[in-house]
Amino acid sequence: MGMIHRKKKEVSLPTKSQVETERKRYRRQKAYNKALRGTVYVLTIVAAVSVLIATLILPVLQIEGTSMEPTLSNGDIVLLTKTPRFDRGDLCGFTWNNKLLIKRVIGLPGDWIEIDIDGNVYLNGDKLKEPYVQQMALGECDLEFPFQVPQEQYFVVGDMRESSIDSRNSLIGCIPKDQIVGKVFFRVWPFKSIRFF
């Protein structure tokens, strides 16, 4: 019987230099993956905190339309702050028909409002000084005056009196306190118009 001889395959071992290069590559890959996981984790936390702040503490709103000109213009971006208290002259954001509108608080609960044919506003018998309005107008008004603001509600109007639909019209009426999202306190855009209110 003859014997079959098989050639042994030669196994080449990596050199010390190759082993070291592979170790370095492995370490770099491991460090990269760790950094990537850490970055994703941090970004997720930042995004979650931003959403929480934006919805609970500082809602962000982009202005649509011209009803608040010249104070706020179409495209402006503003921050609102949650507050339980509003004063006359404050700009407030409130929900109406699944929209968020911005108007100016003119009358507080219990106040008596009168508006003459020229659009001049009288608050509790005294003419209101309104330097933020460029042109007075009665606008879309279907209320009977004198009008008393109901309890827990606010009388709000736009600064562009001629075109603003607001509490002067029964379509919107006075705004219940629980519909008010917050008070405008800072305009962040455009940069040239950044300001606190």
Question: Strand (E) positions, 19-86?
Answer: 60-62, 77-81
Q: Would you place residue 114 in the very low, low, confident or very high pLDDT band (cuts 50, 70, 90)?
A: very high
Q: What is the pLDDT of residues 74-88, one digit of tens each?
A: 889 988 888 888 999
Q: How far does Cα 32 stand from its chain's mean position?
A: 36
Residue ranges covered by each domain of the chain = 18-57, 62-196
Query: Which CATH code for domain 62-196?
Result: 2.10.109.10
Q: What is the pLDDT of residues 124-173, one digit of tens each?
A: 999 999 999 999 999 889 999 999 999 999 999 999 999 999 999 998 99
Q: The tokens 């202005």 sit on which residue?
A: 63
More confident residue, 149 or 24: 149
Q: What is the pLDDT of residues 54-66, one digit of tens each?
A: 555 567 878 888 8
Look at phi and psi of residue 124 and say left if phi exceeds 0, alpha if psi is from -120 to 50, else beta. left
Q: Is residue 167 flagged as an active site residue?
A: no
- Check pLDDT > 90 for residue 46: no
For position 111, what pLDDT does the model report?
A: 96
Q: Would you place residue 23 in the very low, low, confident or very high pLDDT band (cuts 50, 70, 90)?
A: confident
Mean pLDDT (the chain, rounded): 84
- Check pLDDT > 80 for residue 105: yes
For position 45, what pLDDT does the model report?
A: 63
Q: Is residue 164 flagged as an active site residue?
A: no
More confident residue, 72 or 14: 72
For position 15, what pLDDT does the model report?
A: 80
Q: The tokens 């979650």 sit on which residue?
A: 48
For residues 109 and 125, give the distance between their C-alpha atoms in angstroms, rounded to a whole number: 15
Looking at 103, 164, 167, 183, which residue is catalytic? 103
Contact between 72 and 91 (Cβ < 8 Å)? yes
Indicate the range of 3-17, 101-115, 125-139, 164-178 predicted with least confidence: 3-17
Looking at 16, 50, 67, 193, which residue is catalytic? 67
Contact between 66 and 80 (Cβ < 8 Å)? no
| Helix H or strand E encompassing 99 | strand 99-107
Contact between 182 and 96 (Cβ < 8 Å)? no
For residues 34 and 26, give the distance between their C-alpha atoms in angstroms, rounded to a whole number: 12
- Check pLDDT > 90 for residue 21: no
Q: Would you place residue 49 in the very low, low, confident or very high pLDDT band (cuts 50, 70, 90)?
A: low
